[in-house]
């Protein structure tokens, strides 16, 4: 079959996936009992993306377990579906988990008792006790969730730790369209929040001298459809597939550093993963709906799509100044000099993203320079 890449750093490419590629992944998942015959899997992501296609369609059919389709992407629809269908396994992209974590943590921080319980749960190793302390949250999620899986992009480890503190088994994996898709994942019971997990059976991983993750195995694609040049560039003379991601091995665990093409290299030689800064900023505010950090004129710039409902509710007139003073300046106080944000641009529309929510970073420069998309201060009052 041919599945297209998401196109975060360039135009999508058609990836030729073979039966052997898929079979290798399914056998790898089954070998460690990631999913078992008693599970019910929720499908809420589009099947044209390799991760939900394999994990929430092909895998359940291979394992003989039920699939529950989410018909509407909203918090209310999600919780209703979980409660009515005894779902045990949820697969989501980081954006989904960020949204849920943020909503839950806001409620926890509003209640002194819940806040105390959360702090106490952080010091308790027993998942059973954690689950008891946050039984109301588990009930909202249907009461049967056994596994929460994040994939599709790197996730902030603090989000996974928040869910674990509440008694959920929350893990992440790592893969890509070209590897059909799994390269590594965390096995429940020996998971690490800072890691993409252990490399699956029948797959080899090595780290190149420049830090790029290289992969070889039966899961690796046949090539790019009608694109011999891209196929040749993706493999070296020894048959290793170049993922374009940077990482390192810590024992048997694969640690993802960032996407090679997304890394920002400043004139002082510092390498920055913009995702780390974005996660740090957005988790501490309700004024920002989306943020992308990029390099512009040799400095870091943040492109921000505000949460206009919150802006209006708080009767904020000068959006740029409010976000700068209340959010960016607070971040800059504790950030290292090379990670400080020097300017921000407020935009009227959502940031360009793939269907599963990853920012199309190659389009950001045009967005900065497009005066029709950027909100000038004189426009702010008219937009509210």
The pLDDT, as a whole number, for residue 384 is 47
Tell me how many degrees the CA angle 90-284-307 measures, rounded to the nearest 5.
Answer: 80
Written as six digits, the tokens of 251 are 């024992």
Query: Residue 364 CB: number of other CB atoms within 10 A?
Result: 21
pLDDT of 137 strictly over 90:
yes
HEC sequence for 188-256: CCCCCCCCCEEECCCEEEEECCCCEEEEEECCCCCEECCCHHHHHHHECCCCCEEEEEEEEEECCEEEE
pLDDT of 119 strictly over 70:
yes
Question: What is the C-alpha separation between 42 and 59, in angstroms, rounded?
Answer: 12
Is 2-259 CATH 3.40.50.12780? yes
Q: Which pLDDT tens digit goes with each residue over 183-236?
A: 999 999 999 999 999 999 889 999 999 999 999 999 999 999 999 999 999 999
Tell me how many degrees the CA angle 268-270-271 measures, rounded to the nearest 5.
Answer: 145
The CATH label, of 3.60.150.10, 3.30.300.30, 3.40.50.2300, 2.40.160.40, for the domain at 264-381 is 3.30.300.30
Q: Which pLDDT tens digit goes with each residue over 168-186?
A: 999 999 999 999 999 999 9
Question: What is the C-alpha separation between 49 and 358, in angstroms, rounded?
Answer: 12
In the chain, domain spans: 2-259, 264-381
Q: What are phi and psi of 149, to 5 degrees?
A: -120, 130
pLDDT of 382 strictly over 50:
no
Please state whether the predicted TM-score (pTM) of the whole model is above 0.95: no
Give the range with max mean pLDDT: 162-171, 265-274, 308-317.
162-171
Of 167, 166, 175, 169, the closest CA to residue 193 belongs to 169
């Amino acid at each position: 079959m041919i599945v297209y890449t998401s196109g975060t750093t360039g135009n999508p490419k058609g990836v030729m996936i073979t039966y052997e590629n898929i079979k290798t992944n399914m056998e790898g998942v089954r070998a460690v009992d990631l999913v078992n015959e008693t599970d019910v899997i929720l499908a809420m992501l589009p099947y044209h993306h390799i991760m939900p296609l394999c994990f929430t369609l092909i895998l359940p059919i291979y394992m003989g377990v039920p699939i529950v389709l989410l018909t509407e992407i909203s918090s209310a629809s999600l919780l209703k579906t979980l409660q009515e269908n005894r779902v045990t396994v949820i697969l989501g992209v980081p954006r989904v988990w960020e949204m849920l974590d943020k909503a839950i943590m806001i409620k926890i921080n509003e209640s002194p008792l819940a806040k105390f319980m959360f702090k106490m749960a952080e010091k308790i190793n027993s998942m059973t006790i954690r689950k008891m302390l946050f039984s109301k949250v588990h009930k909202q999620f249907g009461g049967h969730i056994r596994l929460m899986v994040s994939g599709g992009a790197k996730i902030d480890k603090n989000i996974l730790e928040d869910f674990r503190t509440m008694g959920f088994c929350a893990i992440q994996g790592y893969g890509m369209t070209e590897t059909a898709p799994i390269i590594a994942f965390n096995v429940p019971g020996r998971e690490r929040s800072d890691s993409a997990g252990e490399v699956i059976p029948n797959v080899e991983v090595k780290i190149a001298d420049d830090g790029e993750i290289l992969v070889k195995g039966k899961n690796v694609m046949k090539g790019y459809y009608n694109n011999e040049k891209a196929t040749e560039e993706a493999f070296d003379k020894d048959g290793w597939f170049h993922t374009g991601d940077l990482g390192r091995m810590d024992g048997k665990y694969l640690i993802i550093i960032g996407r090679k093409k997304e890394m920002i290299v400043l004139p002082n030689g510092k390498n920055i993963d913009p995702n780390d800064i974005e996660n740090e900023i957005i988790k501490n505010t309700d004024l920002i709906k989306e943020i992308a950090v990029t390099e512009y004129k040799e400095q870091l710039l943040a492109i921000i799509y505000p949460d206009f409902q919150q802006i209006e509710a708080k009767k904020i007139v000068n959006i740029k100044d409010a976000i700068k003073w209340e959010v960016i300046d607070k971040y800059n106080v504790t950030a290292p000099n090379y990670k400080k944000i020097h300017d921000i641009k407020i935009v009227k529309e959502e940031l360009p993203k793939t269907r599963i929510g990853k920012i199309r970073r190659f389009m950001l420069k045009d967005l900065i320079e497009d005066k029709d998309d950027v909100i000038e201060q004189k426009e702010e009052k008219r937009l509210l």
